[in-house]
Amino acid sequence: MSGNTFGKLFTVTTFGESHGLALGCIVDGCPPGLSLSEEDLQHDLDRRKPGQSRYTTQRREADQVKILSGVFEGKTTGTPIGLLIENTDQRSKDYSTIKDQYRPAHADYPYMQKYGVRDYRGGGRSSARETAMRVAAGAIAKKYLKETLGIEVKGYLSQLGPIKIETVDWEEIHNNPFFCPDASKVAEMEAYMQALNKEGNSVGAKIAVTATGMPPGLGEPIFDRLDADLAHALMSINAVKGVEIGAGFECVEQKGTEHRDEITPQGFLSNHAGGVLGGISTGQDLIASLALKPTSSLHLPGRSVNVRGEPVEVVTKGRHDPCVGIRATPIAEAMMALVIMDHLLRHRGQNGGLQHDIPVIPAAAPGASTQA
Amino acid sequence: MSGNTFGKLFTVTTFGESHGLALGCIVDGCPPGLSLSEEDLQHDLDRRKPGQSRYTTQRREADQVKILSGVFEGKTTGTPIGLLIENTDQRSKDYSTIKDQYRPAHADYPYMQKYGVRDYRGGGRSSARETAMRVAAGAIAKKYLKETLGIEVKGYLSQLGPIKIETVDWEEIHNNPFFCPDASKVAEMEAYMQALNKEGNSVGAKIAVTATGMPPGLGEPIFDRLDADLAHALMSINAVKGVEIGAGFECVEQKGTEHRDEITPQGFLSNHAGGVLGGISTGQDLIASLALKPTSSLHLPGRSVNVRGEPVEVVTKGRHDPCVGIRATPIAEAMMALVIMDHLLRHRGQNGGLQHDIPVIPAAAPGASTQA
Amino acid sequence: MSGNTFGKLFTVTTFGESHGLALGCIVDGCPPGLSLSEEDLQHDLDRRKPGQSRYTTQRREADQVKILSGVFEGKTTGTPIGLLIENTDQRSKDYSTIKDQYRPAHADYPYMQKYGVRDYRGGGRSSARETAMRVAAGAIAKKYLKETLGIEVKGYLSQLGPIKIETVDWEEIHNNPFFCPDASKVAEMEAYMQALNKEGNSVGAKIAVTATGMPPGLGEPIFDRLDADLAHALMSINAVKGVEIGAGFECVEQKGTEHRDEITPQGFLSNHAGGVLGGISTGQDLIASLALKPTSSLHLPGRSVNVRGEPVEVVTKGRHDPCVGIRATPIAEAMMALVIMDHLLRHRGQNGGLQHDIPVIPAAAPGASTQA
Amino acid sequence: MSGNTFGKLFTVTTFGESHGLALGCIVDGCPPGLSLSEEDLQHDLDRRKPGQSRYTTQRREADQVKILSGVFEGKTTGTPIGLLIENTDQRSKDYSTIKDQYRPAHADYPYMQKYGVRDYRGGGRSSARETAMRVAAGAIAKKYLKETLGIEVKGYLSQLGPIKIETVDWEEIHNNPFFCPDASKVAEMEAYMQALNKEGNSVGAKIAVTATGMPPGLGEPIFDRLDADLAHALMSINAVKGVEIGAGFECVEQKGTEHRDEITPQGFLSNHAGGVLGGISTGQDLIASLALKPTSSLHLPGRSVNVRGEPVEVVTKGRHDPCVGIRATPIAEAMMALVIMDHLLRHRGQNGGLQHDIPVIPAAAPGASTQA
C-alpha cells in the first residue's frame, strides 16, 4: 500500500532521486524459472535513455542496470529481484537559484506543501528519471508475457504537437528517434523540433500502446478493472494528463450501433472497446492512448513565486527534453506490461484450478480492424 | 487487495448483483465523530436512481439504503460502516434467450472466459446497479470533506452525443434531468433524446467533475499520484473509456509557455494542470473529465455468437438507459470524493505530526480562470 | 488494507456491532464453481453459537446466515459473496452504568482513547460476536480446501484452566460441549466449570488446530510466512494472548538434534516444525496452538475508573461465557482455513504456470508422530 | 501486498540472498523531517552482526549500510529510503554437496516444492542474513518513535536453553554477549555454550521485547490488532516458533480475577494484558515474548533425502550460530518498532483531525508491576 509500489501480486517498488546516489527497485512476485539477464533489461533502458538523438536531452546517463538478487544461474528464483542503477552524471552545480523558487508547472510547490522539505537537485524524486526503474521492471514482465503466452506489448508516438501520424508501420518505429510509425511524418517532426528548440519552447505529444496476443479473461469486474488499472498505470507516468482505452473520447459522439463491436464466429468485427469489456479482456488487442503535456522546464522566462511568496521570474537552464513524449513510449509499454502481468497472476490465483471449456472468439475476423 | 475494494485507508468494498437479493458495501477507515444518517446518503442515491425522468430507464429501484453498523447515536464510531440496499424490483422474467448469448459490447463473454460461469440476470455483477453503493459510500466522503475542510465535489454533463455545453452555471444543473449546466442546451438535448429513443439507439456522453476548496499537499509522487488514483477511480465506472485531468488531451498541441500555469503572489493565473502537479494537489480546483460510451443494450439487432460459438442475432429487450452518461454525474462525484478522502487520510498518516509553515498560494489570482 | 479485512487474495471484510442491526461480511476472491449453500455455512456457525450447553452464555443468537450475492444456481461465480446475520436478541436494557465505566481487561478504555466515542452496548465492535462472520467465511475456505485438495482443518480444546488433555481422539470432540478430544477429562471439566460458575469467576483455555492433507510449497519466505500469517490470524481472535507453531515454546529447551525433523524416503520422522520450514509448508500436518485469556466480564467486583478518571467498582451483569475458550475451536479452525486458502491462491498466482517435477516426501514415515 | 513487504503505511520491502551481491530494502512512508544518517542505522546493525563474540558465528560480515535515497541534507524527505548492504564475505566454496540435499529443519525442501529452483548458497533467501535489513529499517522507526513520542523499544534474552533469567537489569544487557539482563546468569550461559559447541549441537532461546512510553489508542479492533500485527511481525523472524503478548500462555491457567488488570486513578495495577486490550494499546508497556528454535545447521549428522528422494546423511560444515536466539534481540526490537510505527501512522490517518479530550490513565500505579 505504499505509494511507491505498483501492482498487487507482481509488484514494483522504486526509490531514488534524480541526483542521488542511485535509483533502484524491487520486483516482487516474479514467477520462478524465467531466464533473465541484465541484457534483457538493458535493451528497453537504452530505448528510454536520454542523449539518443538531438531531440532529447543531452544529459549522459549510462543507465546501466545491475541485478542484485532473485536470479540464480540465469533464472529467476521467485524471490524478490533487486535492481540498481547508479547515478553517474550528477554534475555538481549551483542550485542556489532553484532552491527557493517554485518552477511553474513543476512539482516544487506541492512537494513543499506536502513534506515541508524537498530535494531540489534536478527535481529530486519528481524527476522523470525515476521511470528508468519502471522500464527495467517492465522488461521482466514483457519477457515473461512473451515467452509464456505470446503477448507482445509495443507502442508508438501517434502525435507530436500538431503533427498526427496517418499510418502505423510497426517496422518504421525503430528507424527514427521519435518512435514514429509513419515514415512520411518524420521529416516534418524533425523540422518542428528544430524550430521548437530554437524558440526555447516545448510541446506535448500523444502515445499509443497495444498488447497483442491477449488471452480473454484477464481483469476484474469492479474497481480493479483491467482498463482502470491501465488508466492508473499510464496516468502515473510523469506529464501524462489523459488516458483513453479503445475509442476513448470518440465514444462520446458515437451511437450504440456504431460503437458496439459485433461478433461473428470468425471473430470480432471491430475493436472500439480496445480489448476490454466490463473490466475484463476479450482477447482482442488491448489498446490505450495517452496525452503528455509539454515539458515545463523552459528557457523562456515565466512568472512564479519563491518559498516566501514573493514574485520571481523563473528561467530553467540546463539540458531538458523539449518534448517529454518522445522518450515516453518505452515507459508506457512498461506500465502496460506490468498491468497485464499483475492481472495474469491474479487471474491464475483465483481461477487457476478451473479448466474452462469455452470456445474462444478470434480477436479479429478476417478483414476486421484491430484498431480502436 | 481485493478487486472489489477501493482505497487504501478509506476503503469501500462492494458486493451484489443486479438481480440478487441485495447490494451492499463496507466503508472502512471512516474517521469517528462524523454526524451521519441514512438521509445523508439518500440524497445522492436519489440523484443517481433510475426513473427520474423519461430519458433514463423506467425501472423502479427504490434504492433505500440502510446503515447497519459503524454509526452510534448519530455519529460514526470509527468502525466499519455496513450499508445495504435490498433489491425490490427483481422482475421474474425469462432469461432463457440471454442466458446463452454474448451480447455485443457487454461483459458476457469475458465473464464466461474468466469464471466459466456468470449470473446472467440483468448483467449480474457487471450491471451499473453496483454503482449505487459507490454513490452511498461517496456521500460519506463528501460530507466529511465538506464539513471538515470545506472541500466540495460536484459534476455536470459537459457533452451529450454531439451537443456540447458552452457555459457552466452551477445552479442550472439541478433544473434539468441531464445534470446540464447550460440552460440554453436543454431543449436541444431533450429533442435529441426523443429522436434517439424513437430510433432505438443509444449515444455517449462526457462528464466533468471538480473539487473546490482543495488544500495543497494531497497525493503521492509516484504510482499513487492523486491524478493516477483519480484515473483509476473514474475509469472503473461502467462504460467509461477515457479520463482527462485538467487540459487533458488538449495538452498534446499546447506549447510549454501556454500550458504552464504561471503564478503570482495573488494566485495561479490559470489551471491547465487541473489542480495537480507531480501527483500532488496544488490547492487549485481539481478538475477531471470522463467519456462514457453509448449504452450497449439496444433494441436494434446486432450480430454475435452464443456460448457454443454459433452466430446469433441479439436484440436486447427491457428497460435501458439510452445514454448511461445522463445518470453518471453523481457516480463520478462519488469516485472523486473517495479518492480525495483516501489521500487526505494517507497524507495525515505520514505527515500529520509536522507543522509546515509555508505560505499558501491562492488557488486563482483575481480574474484568472479556474477551468482547465 | 483496511483493518477489518483479512487476507490478500481470498479476503474477508467484516462489519457489525454486538447490538447493532446486523453482522455482515464480504468474501472476495473466492474461486468460481464451488457448490455453496447457506447450510454449508450454518454447520460451523451452529458449532460456535452460544447457548449450546450450560457452560456457555445463555444468550440466544440464532446466527442464521444469509448469502446475499456471489452464488448463482448453487455455485460461486467468482464475484464477492455478501453474508448477513441479523441480530435478533438485542435485549433492550439499561446501559447507563456501563456507559461511563471502563470495565477492567475490556477494550472500553483504549476504544475511547482511539476514537473518542464507542458503542457501549454489549461491547460494540469489540464483542466476540464479530467472530461469527469469520466462522461463516472460514466455512467457505474449508469447503474449497477439502473438495479441491483434500485439506481438512480441525481443532480441539487441549487445556481448560488447569485441566490438560492426555490423548486426542478426533471422534470424541463432537460428543461433549468442550470440543475436548479426551473423553476421560470431560467429567472433570464439567465439575470445574460448575464450581467456576458458582464462584462467579472465569478461566483461560488452550486450543489446538491442525490441517491435514497439506501440499508442500504454500507460504512465503519472508514477512508473509505461512506461520507468520497464522500467528496474525490466530492472535486476532478475541482473548488470544499466545500462539505456537509446532513445538512452540518447548523449542526453547530443545537441542538441535532433538528439534530437527529428520527425513527418510518413507517420510518425515517427526513434526516439531508443525508443518512449516522457512515460512513454507512441508506437506506435514500444519499444527498451531493458542492461549485464550479468562473472560473479563465477571460477577465479582473489580476496581476501575470511569470516563472522568474517578474510581468505580465494576460488576458485570448479564449472560457471559465463563470460559471463552470453549467456543473458540470453530473460530480457530476458520482462521487457519482462511490463511491456507489465501496462500493457496497466492501460490497459484505466482507459480501456477510451472510444473515442478520434484519427488514429494510423505508427511509422516510409518510409525512417526504427526504431532508437534 | 507482496510477501517481502511489511507494514501498511510505514512499509519495508527487502531483497537479497545470503551469498548474492547485496542485501537491500526500501522504507516507504517515513515522515519527512527526521534527522537520519547511516550511523543511526549502523548501531543496531552492529548489535546484530555476527562475530561479536565466541558464541556466535565467526563469519565476517561488515554489514555497512548505505542510504541511497530519501534523505537530503541530513533529513528524511518523505520519499522512499533505499538502503543497501553489499556482501563482502562471499567465500567461494564448493556447494556441490548441499546443492542436491535437503538439510533437515531447513527450508531447502519447501523452497524446491514452491519454486522448483533455489539459490542453495548459504541458504539463499532463507538465510537469517535477510534480517539485517529489518534491523536497519527498524532503526529508523525506533528513532522516530523515540524523538517524537518518547517511545523506547528494547529487548533481552530471557532464556537460553534451560537457563532462565531471574531479574531484569536493563543496564546489564550491554555488558555480555547474550543480551542477558541478569548478571548472575552470564557465567552459566558461557559454560553452557562452550559445552554445546564442543558437542557440535545447538539450542533454543527465548527473547522478551518491550515498548515503554506507549500512548493509548494505537491499533485496530479486528484483524489488524496491535497484538496480531506483533504476532505476525515476530513470527516472521527466522526460527521463531511461538509468540506471547503479556501473560501469554500463562493466562490459560489464570482466573479472570487474577488476569484482569484492575485500574485506579493512579494507574493500572498490573499488566497481564501486555499493554493491549481489544487490539488497541492501553498506554501500559507493550510486552511480547518469542521462542526461537535451535539452529538447524549442525556438525552432528542427520538423516534426510536428496532431490531425487534418496536417503542421505547430512552434515553441515561451516560457521554457524549454535544459538540463533543470541543475536535475535535487535531483530525482535526492530520488528516491534516497525509495528508501532505503522500503527502510529495509521492511527493518525484515521483519527488525526480529532482532539480527544479524555483523561489518560497512568501506565502503572505507584508500586504496580509493569511486567506481564
- The mean pLDDT of B80-97, rounded to a whole number, is 81
Which residues of chain D are within 8 Å of residue B348 when distances are taken between CB atoms?
348-349, 352-353
C-alpha span between A195 and D33 (Å, rounded): 44
Q: Do B348 and D346 touch (CB under 8 A)?
A: no
Our CA dihedral for B362, B364, B366, B369, rounded to 10 degrees, sits at 180
Q: Which residues of B touch D (CB under 8 A)?
A: 1, 8-9, 29-33, 78-79, 148, 221, 345-346, 348-354
Task: Report the alpha-carbon distance of residue D214 to residue D217 in Å, rounded.
Answer: 9
How would you write the pLDDT of chain C (372 residues) with one tens digit per residue?
A: 589 999 999 999 999 999 999 999 999 999 999 999 999 999 999 988 876 777 777 666 678 999 999 999 999 999 999 999 998 866 656 677 788 999 999 999 999 999 999 999 888 999 999 999 999 999 999 999 999 999 999 999 999 999 999 999 999 999 999 999 999 999 999 999 999 999 999 999 999 999 999 999 999 999 999 999 999 999 999 999 999 999 999 999 999 999 999 999 999 999 999 999 999 999 999 999 999 999 988 889 999 999 999 999 998 876 678 898 899 999 999 999 999 999 999 999 999 854 568 889 999 999 888 887
End-to-end CA distance of chain B: 33
SS3 sequence, chain C? CCCCEECCCCEEEEECCCCCCEEEEEEECCCCCCECCHHHHHHHHHHHCCCCCCCCCCCCCCCCEEECCCEECCEECCCCEEEEEECCCCCCCCCHHHHCECCCCCCHHHHHHHHCCCCCHHHHHHCHHHHHHHHHHHHHHHHHHHHHHCCEEEEEEEEECCEECCCCCCCHHHHCCCCCCCHHHHHHHHHHHHHHHHHCCCECEEEEEEEECCCCCCECCCCCCHHHHHHHHHHCCCCEEEEEECCHHHHHHCEHHHHCCCEECCEECCCCCCCEECCEECCCCEEEEEEECCCCCCCCCEEEEECCCCEEEECCCCCCCCCHHHHCHHHHHHHHHHHHHHHHHHHHHHHCCCCCCCCCCCCCCCCCCCCC
pLDDT of residue A8: 96
Residues B124-132 have a mean pLDDT of 93
Alpha-carbon gap: D13 to the closest alpha carbon of chain C (Å): 9
Q: B69 and C17: CB-CB below 8 Å?
A: yes
Rounded to an integer, what distance in angstroms lies between the CA atom of residue C118 and that of residue C110?
Answer: 10
Whole-number percent of chain D with pLDDT over 90? 81
Burial letters for C87-126: b for 16+ Cβ neighbours within 10 Å, e otherwise? beeeeeeeeeebeebbbbbbbbbbbbbbbbbbbbbbbbbb
Cα separation, D372 vs D370, in Å, equals: 7
Residue B333: pLDDT band with limits 50, 70, 90: very high
Among candidates B17, B114, B116 on the partner chain, residue whose Cβ is nearest the Cβ of C69: B17
Q: What is the mean pLDDT of residues B316-331?
A: 86
Best of A222, A270, A296, A314 to mutate (most B CBs within 10 Å, chain B): A222
Angstrom distance (rounded) from CA A209 to CA A66:
27
What gap in Å lies between CA C325 and CA C157, rounded to an integer? 8
pLDDT digits (tens, 9 = 90+) for B346-364: 999 999 854 568 889 999 9
Window from B82-96, C115-129, D177-191, D301-315 with minimum mean pLDDT: B82-96
Question: Which residues from chain C sit within 8 angstroms of residue B14, using beta carbons?
Answer: 26, 80
Q: How confident is the model at residue D16 (pLDDT cuts 50, 70, 90)?
A: very high
D294 is in an annotated binding site: yes
Distance from CA of A73 to the nearest CA of B (A): 32
Q: Which residue of B has its CA nearest to D147?
A: B353
Closest CB to B241 among A221, A248, A302 = A248
Residue D165 has pLDDT above 80, yes or no: yes
Mutate which of B18, B23, B26 to test chain C, going by most C C-beta atoms within 10 A?
B26
- Helix then strand then coil, % of chain B, to nearest 5: 30, 20, 45
CB neighbour burial string for B214-233, b if at least 16 within 10 angstroms, e if fewer: bbbbbbbbbbbbbbbbbbbb
Q: Residues of A comprising the binding site for FMN?
A: 125-127, 238-239, 278, 293-297, 319
The span from the CA of C170 to the CA of C188, in Å, is 19
Region B313-323 average pLDDT: 82
First to last CA, chain A: 33
Which chain C residues are Cβ-neighbours of D321 within 8 angstroms? none
Integer-rounded Cα radius of gyration of chain D = 21
pLDDT of residue B355: 54
Closest by CA position to A27, among listed A342, A311, A259, A276: A342
Q: How many CA atoms lie within 13 A of C168 on its CB side?
A: 15
Q: What is the pLDDT of residue A53?
A: 76
User: DSSP characters for A36-53?
Assistant: --HHHHHHHHHHH-TTSS
Question: Cell 493500572 sits at which residue?
Answer: D268
pLDDT for residue B365 is more than 80 = yes
pLDDT of residue D63: 87
Q: Is D278 annotated as a binding residue?
A: yes
Distance from CA of A176 to the nearest CA of B (A): 20
Q: Pick from D248, D257, D360: which is nearest to C298 by CB?
A: D257
Closest partner CB to A350 (pick from C31, C350, C351): C31
Q: How far apart are the first and last CA of chain C?
A: 33
Q: Least CB-CB distance to B351: which of D32, D353, D354?
A: D32
Split at pLDDT 50, 70, 90, the class of B89 is low
Query: Is residue A89 pLDDT above 80, yes or no?
Result: no
Provide the 3-class DSSP secondary structure of residue B131: helix
A78–C350: do the CB atoms touch at under 8 Å? Answer: yes
CB pairs under 8 A between B and D: 58
How does residue B317 score in pLDDT terms, banded at 50, 70 and 90?
confident
The Cα–Cα gap between D35 and D48 comes to: 23
B98: which chain C residues are within 8 Å (Cβ-Cβ)?
none
Flag whether pLDDT at A263 surpasses 90. Answer: yes
The answer, yes or no, to whether residue A269 has pLDDT greater than 80, is yes
Which residues in B lie closer than 8 A to residue D33 (C-beta atoms)?
A: 354
How far does the CA of residue B38 sit from the closest CA of chain A (Å)?
24
Q: How many CB pairs (< 8 A) connect A and C?
A: 58
Neighbours of chain C (3+ CB pairs under 8 A): A, B, D
Q: Which residue of C has its CA nearest to D118?
A: C221
Identify all chain A residues contacting C26, using CB atoms and an 8 Å cutoff. none
State the average pLDDT over residues D202-222: 97
> pLDDT of D30-83, one tens digit each?
999 999 999 999 999 998 887 677 777 766 667 899 999 999 999 999 999 999
Checking if the pLDDT of B62 tops 80, the result is no
Shortest alpha-carbon distance between residue D336 and chain C (Å) = 13
Among A171-180, B240-249, B350-359, D341-350, whose mean pLDDT is lowest?
Answer: B350-359
Res D58: pLDDT: 62
Instruction: Render pLDDT for B168-191 as a digit per residue (tens, 0 to 9).
Output: 999 999 999 999 999 999 999 999
Complex-level ipTM beyond the 0.85 threshold: yes
C-alpha distance from residue A1 to each of A231, B224, D7 (Å): 18, 9, 8
The pLDDT tens digits of the residues spanning A162-187 come to 999 999 999 999 999 999 999 999 99
Task: State the average pLDDT over residues D131-152.
Answer: 97
CB contact under 8 Å between C232 and D227, yes or no, is no
- Cβ-based interface (< 8 Å): residues of C facing A: 1, 8-9, 29-33, 78-79, 148, 221, 345-346, 348-354
